[in-house]
A and B are shown apart, each in its own frame.
Chain A
């Protein structure tokens, strides 16, 4: 059924489907860079025992400078997060009448996501077809909400540690012990999750090879890929005549090339950070 509609449509040669607006793409880039700086400066302290940590510290000019870099990056990251909250709120308020909290355009998990998880595992073991995804897959939603969790947990403990005098005037001293553990372990979780699971889902699984997937930098995906990754959304847009609204020209060669270089650079940095963290983890547990 889906197929017939697709095939009957006038072919959109040289067209792509827009997925992320310019502001979201800039936000993602700044977010990624600030998180990487946070991981680098933070893990150098968390894994102070390693041979690489003092090298990083010296490169920054000592822990005092690295601390300022860490806090500045944290301020950038938290600002982006809160600005995003404002942006989302405005978007939802504007479309309040038509917005469905559990609808396909919402990032709120719905019943279909749970069915999709089960469906994916069935597909993995060869007991079913691959689920048909709409605009946001459950792993994309997880990535999105994981940031909320991370901001709340790492952000709040980081604030406690950054402002100890205020913290200790309200709370007992053991919160420093606890905050240090939570801040470090949660950062470990975030770093390793981003550079393994997030990288795999978006850049390294067989359908995405070769890396990088540049949708987060160009903002749009080729029609073929869009139909493959988000068939339900495609069908929905075709049926409601919305597809035209999202069609954009294939990004100019320079933008695509630049995005690829940028993407590969970020992936290389991420994987390097992953290696550093693994070295730290192994040396800490031996």
Chain B
């Protein structure tokens, strides 16, 4: 009896599933090898074949690179759930088109259920990145085509080859150096062109120096924000400062930096003076902060700025006598003044407190001594 019910139940499920499929295709045939018969990038120019073949180029997969990627063990149709046949053009089923988020969220949920969050910590990072991404500028609908977002996961991460090398390896360096291309090759082309001329761009692209800033060092990665927003304007100083620590510190001691620290983006920030994508060394005669160009740069905000602005030091410190002698002298003088005044008066205050309290106690014990101007009798 019980068996009959469960059999009937199973039958219902199978029937429902079959009904959902427009064309019942044996899925076992749709393995990666089947896909690669057409989509193998190593076979050169890929063209769609079949009865209704058009000249549309096919998406080519480099199987070697795919195999080395984090998804290398996966079946194509595990992500491309809407593909139901092996003929061109594919008759798309109702399955979801390939996308990253739902799968990664589900994997993390499973990991949490199985108590494997520590072993699969990386999955957690991905989920966190997804959350951050959702509030980013890239996740917003595109202005020209609102059906798609500004940039989806695979616009930056090639999902077929994705594999971020571990930190500290030379592969990581190579990977890091490709980032300007990831952002600039297709989408932010003007910015990339400008970046190539900058001190950062030259270090990265010509000298392969991985310490020099690439796009994400300033703009962040998943949480990338609209640059006209105050939150971004405030955070960018921290981002520059994560490499240029001394300069951030000295900036913070000026009014520009103090207001920025308070959470307001309207005072001068790094890029207001130094430029952004096309940033140059201050020694470069073309640099916006080169003494010859400085007044013009100041006048962007201080429209009435006069000659003296040029010799203001926006990054002065109190410990470098060679470079900032006036600041060094004045800060030492102020410290001495403060120390002197407080040393004298706090000593004065402390002793006074003690003596007056003692005298009061004595007066309480000897009522005839109520007037301090009256000569005190010997103890």
Chain A: residues with CB nearer than 8 A to chain B? 2-3, 44-46, 48-49, 53-54, 57, 62-63, 120-121, 123-126, 129-130, 132, 139, 161, 164-178, 180-182, 185-186, 188-189, 192-193, 196-197, 200-201, 205-207, 227-228, 231
| Chain B contacts for A130, CB-based, 8 A | 359, 372-373
Q: Is B309 an interface residue (CB 8 A)?
A: yes
Q: Is B32 an interface residue (CB 8 A)?
A: no
On whether the beta carbons of A173 and B255 are closer than 8 Å, the reply is no
Q: Is B306 an interface residue (CB 8 A)?
A: yes
Complex partner residue of B346 from A174, A175, A189, A197, CB under 8 angstroms = A197
- Interface of B: prevailing SS: helix
Which 6 A-B residue pairings sit nearest by Cβ, starting from the closest? A168-B308, A173-B312, A173-B311, A124-B351, A169-B306, A48-B258
A-B contact count (CB 8 A): 148
Most buried by A among B253, B257, B262, B374: B262
Give 17 pairs: A residue, B residue, CB < 8 Å, sorted on A.
A46-B258, A49-B252, A54-B263, A63-B259, A124-B354, A125-B351, A125-B355, A161-B255, A168-B305, A177-B324, A180-B255, A189-B337, A189-B338, A192-B342, A193-B342, A197-B348, A205-B353
Asked whether A178 and B326 contact (CB < 8 A) given A129-B376, A165-B302, the answer is yes
Q: Is B229 an interface residue (CB 8 A)?
A: no
Q: Is B88 an interface residue (CB 8 A)?
A: no
On whether the beta carbons of A173 and B309 are closer than 8 Å, the reply is yes
Binds A, one of B93-101, B208-216, B327-335: B327-335
Q: Is B360 an interface residue (CB 8 A)?
A: yes
- Interface of A: prevailing SS: helix
| Chain A contacts for B359, CB-based, 8 A | 130
What's the Cα separation between A196 and B345 when bound, in Å?
Answer: 9
On whether the beta carbons of A168 and B306 are closer than 8 Å, the reply is yes
Q: Which residue of A is nearest B260, CB measured?
A: A48
| Chain A contacts for B304, CB-based, 8 A | 165
On whether the beta carbons of A181 and B371 are closer than 8 Å, the reply is no
On whether the beta carbons of B334 and A185 are closer than 8 Å, the reply is yes
| Chain A contacts for B337, CB-based, 8 A | 185, 189
Chain B: residues with CB nearer than 8 A to chain A? 252-255, 257-259, 261-264, 302, 304-313, 316, 318, 324, 326-327, 330-331, 334-335, 337-338, 341-342, 345-346, 348-349, 351-357, 359-360, 371-376
On whether the beta carbons of B341 and A189 are closer than 8 Å, the reply is yes
Complex partner residue of A165 from B254, B305, B348, B372, CB under 8 angstroms = B305
On whether the beta carbons of B360 and A174 are closer than 8 Å, the reply is no
Most buried by A among B310, B356, B357, B376: B356
On whether the beta carbons of B351 and A181 are closer than 8 Å, the reply is no
Asked whether A174 and B349 contact (CB < 8 A) given A3-B371, A48-B259, the answer is no
| Chain A contacts for B334, CB-based, 8 A | 181-182, 185-186
| Chain A contacts for B253, CB-based, 8 A | 180
What's the Cα separation between A27 and B324 when bound, in Å?
Answer: 41
| Chain B contacts for A54, CB-based, 8 A | 262-263
On whether the beta carbons of A174 and B263 are closer than 8 Å, the reply is no
What's the Cα separation between A189 and B338 when bound, in Å?
Answer: 6
What's the Cα separation between A54 and B261 when bound, in Å?
Answer: 8
On whether the beta carbons of A188 and B338 are closer than 8 Å, the reply is yes
What's the Cα separation between A176 and B298 when bound, in Å?
Answer: 14
Q: Which residue of A is nearest B309, CB measured?
A: A168
Chain A: minimal CB distance from B164 (Å):
34
Complex partner residue of B264 from A62, A180, A192, A206, CB under 8 angstroms = A62
| Chain B contacts for A205, CB-based, 8 A | 352-353, 356
On whether the beta carbons of A173 and B355 are closer than 8 Å, the reply is no
On whether the beta carbons of B262 and A48 are closer than 8 Å, the reply is yes
What's the Cα separation between A49 and B253 when bound, in Å?
Answer: 10
What's the Cα separation between A181 and B335 when bound, in Å?
Answer: 10
Complex partner residue of A197 from B331, B349, B357, B376, CB under 8 angstroms = B349
What's the Cα separation between A64 and B86 when bound, in Å?
Answer: 66
Chain A: minimal CB distance from B237 (Å):
12
Q: Which residue of A is nearest B316, CB measured?
A: A177
20 extra A-B contacts, CB within 8 A, seeds A169-B307, A175-B308: A48-B258, A53-B262, A54-B263, A63-B259, A120-B352, A123-B355, A125-B355, A129-B372, A129-B376, A130-B373, A164-B309, A168-B306, A173-B311, A173-B312, A176-B312, A178-B326, A178-B327, A181-B331, A205-B356, A227-B371
